[in-house]
Structure 1
Amino acid sequence: MDVSPSVPVAQPRRLAELPLAKDMSHHINRLTKNRQANSLKEMYKYASLPGMVSMAGGIPSPAYFPFETLSATILPYDHLPLDPPRVPGKEKKSLLSWLFGGANISFTIPKYAEDPKDPMAISLATSLQYQAATGPPAFPKFLRRYVEEIYKPAYADWDVILDVGATDGFAKVFNMLLELGDSLLVEEWTYPGAMNAYMPYEVNTVALKMDAEGVIPEYMENVLANWDDSKGRRPRVFYTVPTGQNPTGATMLGDRKKAIYAIASKHDVVIVEDEPYYTLFLGKYQQQGTNATPLQQRQIELEKQEGKEGNAAFIESLPPTYLTVDTEGRVIRLDTFSKTSCPGSRLGWITSSPIFVERLTRIAEASTQAPSGFATAMTITMLNTWGWDGYMRWLRGIKAAYKMRRDWMCDALADQFHLEFDDGALNPLVRDTAGLGRGFTAYAKHPTGSAEAKWDEKRGVVSSRGTPLCSFIPPTAGMFIFLAVHLDQHPDYHLLGNDADDVLMGKLWRELAEHLVLFAPGIGFDSKGPHNIGGKGVGYFRISYSIITYEESRSATATFAKVLTKFLRA
């Protein structure tokens, strides 16, 4: 197995002060150890040398490509406002935006580069040709800068490789690491797409308990330290979505990541960090009519600033990644352009140690090869057109847009239900250990003075006499609210036996669908590990606020409140 390091990364930071990645080749499975470098692909790096007369590859002539140019019109990087209104129709524009903003930008990619000797030039002759699995040189160069400045890896010899979106990325990673019958550490609720990728390996999924900040370190340590060898060898791989976790919306911050990484290092576990929502770290939900803390207000003001100062504040606000604490090269991080550009580009990248990147390159050579030349050419040209600061400004606008939609959904729930803070007794996922925000339990909303309501002197609010209907934690990142329905409050719950949760959730889901409101059933995200973690009497829906309009958020929530109240007969 050739595991020679990839080309050294040109990094501006103190390279000499950082350690090199440890040898993690013992984690690579038998199948991947047997992969050999594609000898024809190896020639590509020589074929692109200026002046080379190449007659080695069976490749078509660019002269016969039917595409002479490729053109696109993109939005300006500051198209999305940094401070969108809580309620539509009250948009504000800065003076600079009125004077200079708003114009779309057009570019054209030619068939041949003006300077054929420039290896970073983007042209159709090279982009639409067969390429090395690592993609065009200009793209890894941009991504290396991004990883270095945003993630700040804690070892020196990391590198990146393009993939065909994060789904392709984790499929290749599982293909590299898993043997048939392995045990795999996963979060108790996890992404079904990842399940589809690892289940063919006949894995024993070991579900790890979660709270509002993701996996609980003490639980993970207990599982690994007390592993029963009769179940097979101890898990060596942990798959996780740390930011805006799909489906729960949980976000893991720096101290928790350090604790999890220390456990992974102690027990020699590889962390597969899947991060499609990383730059959608939205911050704590601020209820209408309440004031932000001085620290929160300062951060909000900094992030609203245009220019480099605002970009720097945005980067500083992002949670540390596992790469930030990885001194050994045991983290394999997956990123994607699906949430910040468009899913149809099928474009993302993997950051990891030289050994893992080299083996993933061999896998790509035998499967997807390089991502689509159309996607890479258009995306890197878009990024170069915006420039580094422009792309950071675009990410900030995307973040603000989804924060606005998150607030719409939470505000709509607050308007339709009577909400009270949840101390964790009613929702197993509530445990506010990191200031991420408290969860809420929702009750039927009754007018003050009605027979169903009373004044709570201690809290100074109208408190429902009814039963708890549902609970949720306002997410601090991502695109989802994970809503717990209190099924044990249904009058027929105890008559349905062990199947009560599934029967009632299925019936409620169908009733909502018949009323033209479609939620994702939580059961589809159950990692189906050996532990019954969620508890009886609670069912879950994943509610996505990413695409609905303000009006739809209001009408759908009103329908949900009516259906749920009637369903639980509250």
Structure 2
Amino acid sequence: MNIDTIPFVAAPPAPRAGLPNARDMSHHLNSITKRRQANKLKELYKYAALPGMVPMAGGVPSPTIFPFETLSADILPYNHLPLDPPRVPKKQGLLEWLFSSSAPTTEKISIPKYAADPKDPMAIQLSTSLQYAAATGPPAFPIWLRKYVETVFKPAFADWDVLLDVGATDAMTKVCNMLLVEGDSVMVEEWTYPGAMNAYLPYDVNVVGLPMDNEGIIPADMDKVLSSWNEEKQGPRPRLLYTVPTGQNPTGATMLAERRKAVYDICSKYDVVIVEDEPYYCLFMDAYVPRDAKLSPMDKAQRDAEKLEGKKGNEAFLKSLPPSFLHFDTDGRVIRFDTFSKTSCPGSRLGWITSSPIFIERLTRIAECGTQAPSGFATALTLTMLNHWGWDGYVRWLRGIKANYRMKRDWMLDALADSFHLESDGSSINPLVLSTPLGRGYTAYARPDPASPERRWDEKRGVQSAHGAPLISFIPPSAGMFIFLGVHLNTHPEYRGPDDTRTLMDKLWRTLAKHHVLFAPGWAFDANGPHNIGGDGVGYFRLSFSIVTYEQTRESMEVFAKVLKQFLRA
């Protein structure tokens, strides 16, 4: 065997026939990244695994002194989460509680110090998992991830590859390290994820907030920004777009296929690198239908189709997911982030990047002098769990996760419907949304006062309504973990204009916190305003439905309604 031909990691799967290789994107690399070299000692790791090799090159401890002989865990079965959970949880009776076990059924996995067949490329053993390793992680993990990427995302160029990371925040930090220089411009959604801001703002970049609607970035507005860019006045034209396309954080917006293709084409036209951050990708769910809604024939047909699709199983679930930007990427300009945080556990600090070979190779060099590979404990346990479940088992687990989040979304929206009077869009007073394929927007009012059934006139807004002035507006999300609420402040006695919005929203946020209801304030996600979503006199909260129980959800929405009505009369 010619050891000089040994790859640093296992080779990617054979590409689909007829696909192009990625274009040369080296002109996007900053000068520091171009000067990075491979770690000369860590390059030796690829030789140490050769059968019969006597490893005296590295300063590594012997596995015989590792204190961990086995690593075991009890995990849930892949079908633990139901695919069609009840809209309202069943109340457990006393006898049922006394004679039923509260502990879920579990299955045991165990990782030995030495595998039975250490030559097996998918073997997981503590002697190597807990040892110094290449920045690419244990070889078995990229093999599994490449199957996932090829099956689910179907990249449109041939020579893509993957790289493990320590979560998406780590990935974004590495990408900024690779591409940005001081004075660059970065395009983001007008409401964006603060963790990404923390990665690019230290480069003193010009942040360009792109207008959004319910489906994310508006292509026409993005094209206008780039086509009218004046480099003499504004500096270099933006060459990096950061986006969360599915269940966008904080708005919950999801780009469907046509929108993603339009955004990709604009980025290709102006040579922009797309950072596609997708922590909520597998949490794409059907549109919200109010609990007591009478469905139109079209809505009923769509809901019946969704139920049928759910019965068809794993293949139908994967086909229902929006296409990744990778699916349209013939250039190799997409850098996609995925994570196990939302489908396994955030504390594993485990995710991966998919991109073109030059970006993956340079990011590997960055990892070698920083995080190196993720924790051996996290990779060993996660990969053993995936292998135990099998491919179909893992996809079934994802379907259960999706159903769980859909249930919790419906809990919160139903609780809002019970605490407020909701009207679907069609009225000009809703500043947030128009009806879309992803669902309808809603405006919420105070519950009707039986003693005053007459219609009332809102002097400030010039709006006539049987329920008075609007209190909040929102779009039911079709993916992710969040509801983005617009709070109408126009009727507050202290509201004089847009400059009062932040002050009043802070005051309302603190009042809610004193009542033990904690929302995320909208200003934390504000890229740079002014905003296409909403308008003057509207402030924002992000509500997460992911962790709260049914009872907590209902109690907190009742408190929110009471506090908000009192606040607006203050």
* SS in structure 1 of the partner of residue 41 of structure 2: helix
- 1:206 touches 1:529 (CA, 8 Å); kept in 2? no
How many residue pairs get aligned? The number is: 543
**1:176-215 to 2 correspondences below 5 Å:** 176-215=178-217
1:423–1:430 contact (8 Å) kept in structure 2: no
Find the counterpart in structure 2 of residue 520 from structure 1.
520
Q: CA deviation at 1:425?
A: 4.1
Determine the C-alpha separation between the residues in 1 that align with 2:8 and 2:500. Answer: 55
Give the superposition deviation at 1:31: 1.1
Q: 8 Å contact 1:161–1:349 — kept in the other structure?
A: yes
- Name the CA distance, whole Å, in 2 between partners of 1:517 and 1:293: 36
Asked whether the equivalents of residues 424 and 430 of structure 1 are also in contact (C-alpha less than 8 Å), the reply is no
Cross-structure match for 2:13:
10
Q: Does 1:295 align with 2:302?
A: yes
| Deviation at residue 201 of structure 1 after TM alignment | 0.5
Amino acid at match of 1:567: F
Tell me which of 470, 488, 493 is aligned to 1:486. 488
Q: Deviation of residue 282 (structure 1)? A: 1.5
What is the aligned partner in structure 1 of residue 287 from structure 2? Answer: 284
Q: CA deviation at 1:40?
A: 1.0
2:41 maps to 1:51? no
- Preserved CA contact (<8 Å) 2:134 2:372: yes
CA offsets 1:231-268 (integer angstroms, 9 cap, x no match): 11000000000000000000010000000000000000
Structure 1 CA distance for aligned equivalents of residues 434 and 140 of structure 2: 44
Q: Is the 8 A contact 2:432 2:473 kept in 1?
A: no
Matched residue, 1:74: 75
Contact 2:288 2:477 in 1 (8 A): yes
Structure 1 residue 293 displacement after superposition: 2.3
Query: Match of 2:121?
Result: 119
Give per-residue Cα distances to partners, 1:444-496, cap 9 Å, x unaligned: 1115x5314559xxxxxx963310111000000000000000111213212xx
User: Which of 473, 478, 481 is equivalent to 1:476?
Assistant: 478
Q: Tell me, in whole angstroms, the C-alpha distance in 2 between the residues paired with 1:454 and 1:431.
A: 25
Identity of aligned residues (%): 66
1:288, CA displacement in angstroms? 1.0
1:35-73: CA deviation from partner (whole Å, max 9, x where unpaired):
100011111111111221111111111111111110000
Distance in structure 2 (CA, Å) of the matches to 1:51 and 1:424: 75
Please state how far the C-alpha of 1:510 moved relative to its aligned partner.
Answer: 1.1
Distance in 1 separating the partners of 2:414 and 2:37: 55
Residue 425 of structure 2 is matched in structure 1 by 422
Deviation at 1:283, TM superposition (A): 1.6
Does residue 143 of the first structure (1) align with residue 145 of the second (2)? Answer: yes
Change (3 A) 1:297 1:498: closer
Q: Select the residue among 103, 106, 119 that pairs with 2:105.
A: 103
Which residue of 2 is the match for residue 337 of structure 1? 340
| Whole-Å separation in 2 of the counterparts to 1:424 and 1:225 | 34
Q: Distance in 2 between matches of 1:5 and 1:236?
A: 30
2:260 is the alignment partner of 1:260: no
Structure 1 residue 515 displacement after superposition: 1.1
Q: Determine whether 1:393 maps to 2:396.
A: yes
Q: Give structure 2 stretches of 5+ with no counterpart.
A: 1-6, 93-99, 457-463
Pair 531,358 (structure 1): closer, same or farther in 2 beyond 3 Å: same
**C-alpha displacement at 1:17, in angstroms?**
1.1
Aligned amino acid, residue 384 of structure 1:
N
Q: Which amino acid aligns with 2:224?
A: N
Preserved CA contact (<8 Å) 2:425 2:435: no
* Mapping of residues 450-465 of structure 1, within 5 Å: 450-452=451-453, 464-465=466-467
Corresponding residue for residue 354 of structure 2: 351
1:313 corresponds to 2:313: no
CA contact (8 A) 2:425 2:434 kept: no
The answer as to whether partners of 1:452 and 1:466 remain within 8 angstroms in 2 is: no
Q: Does 1:63 align with 2:64?
A: yes
Q: Is the 8 A contact 1:214 1:242 kept in 2?
A: yes
> Is the Cα–Cα contact under 8 Å of residues 270 and 330 in structure 1 kept in the other structure?
yes
Question: What letter matches 2:527 in structure 1?
Answer: S
Aligned counterpart for 2:133 among listed residues 125, 131, 134: 131
Distance 1:357 1:453, change over 3 A: farther
Deviation at 1:9, TM superposition (A): 1.6
Q: 2:239 corresponds to which residue?
A: 236
TM-score, reference length from structure 2 = 0.92
> What's 1:539 paired with?
539
Residues in 1 aligned to 2:548 and 2:454: alpha-carbon distance in whole angstroms: 32
**Aligned pair 1:227/2:245, yes or no?**
no
- Which letter maps to 1:295? Q
Q: Deviations over 1:303-358 (max 9, x none)?
A: 1x3xxx40011111111110111111000000000000000000000000000000
- Which residue is equivalent to 1:155? 157
**Paired residue secondary structure (2:388):** helix
2:167 corresponds to 1:165 = yes
Q: Deviations over 1:497-528 (max 9, x none)?
A: 55310111111111111111111100000012
Query: What's the CA shift for 1:301?
Result: 2.8
42-51 vs 262-271, greater mean Cα deviation:
42-51
Q: What SS class does the counterpart of residue 489 from structure 1 fall into? A: coil
| TM-score of the aligned structures, taking structure 1 as reference length | 0.92
Q: Distance in 2 between matches of 1:350 and 1:424?
A: 43
SS for the counterpart of 1:218 is: helix
Asked whether the equivalents of residues 8 and 157 of structure 1 are also in contact (C-alpha less than 8 Å), the reply is no
One-letter amino acid matched to 1:569: R
Compute the displacement of 1:113 (Å).
1.1
**SS in structure 2 opposite 1:43?**
helix
- Look up the SS of the partner of 1:271 in the other structure: strand
User: Structure 1 residues 426 and 540, CA, compared in 2 at 3 Å: closer, same or farther?
Assistant: farther
Q: Please say if residues 418 and 464 of structure 1, whose CA atoms lie closer than 8 Å, have aligned partners that are also in contact.
A: no
Separation in 1, partners of 2:512, 2:105: 42
Q: 1:373 aligns with which of 373, 376, 380?
A: 376
What is the match of residue 382 of structure 1?
385
**2:325 partner amino acid:** Y
Question: Is contact 2:283–2:480 with CA below 8 Å preserved after alignment?
Answer: yes
**Paired residues of 1:153 and 1:323 also in contact (CA < 8 A):** yes
Q: CA deviation at 1:534?
A: 5.2
Report the counterpart of residue 458 of structure 1 in structure 2: none
Tell which deviates more after alignment, 462-471 or 392-401.
462-471
Name the SS of the counterpart of 1:551 in structure 2.
helix
Q: How many angstroms apart in 1 are the aligned matches of 2:216 and 2:443? A: 20
Q: 1:406 aligned to 2:413? A: no
SS in 2 for 1:160: strand
Q: 1:211 to 1:154 in 2, by over 3 A?
A: same
1:364 aligns with 2:364: no
Cα offset, 1:76, TM superposition: 0.3
Which secondary structure state, in structure 1, belongs to the residue aligned with residue 42 of structure 2? helix
> 1:147-168 CA distances to partner (integer Å, 9 max, x unpaired)?
1111111111100000001111
1-side partners of 2:126 and 2:427: how far apart? 57
Q: Which moved more, 1:170-179 or 1:272-281?
A: 170-179
Task: Work out whether residues 482 and 543 of structure 1, in 8 Å CA contact, stay in contact via their aligned partners in 2.
Answer: yes
State whether structure 2 residue 562 is matched by structure 1 residue 562. yes
1:438 counterpart residue number: 440
1:174 Cα deviation from its structure 2 partner: 1.1
Alpha-carbon contact 2:472-2:487 (below 8 Å) kept: yes
Note closer, same or farther for the CA distance 1:116–1:517 as it changes in structure 2 (3 Å cut): same
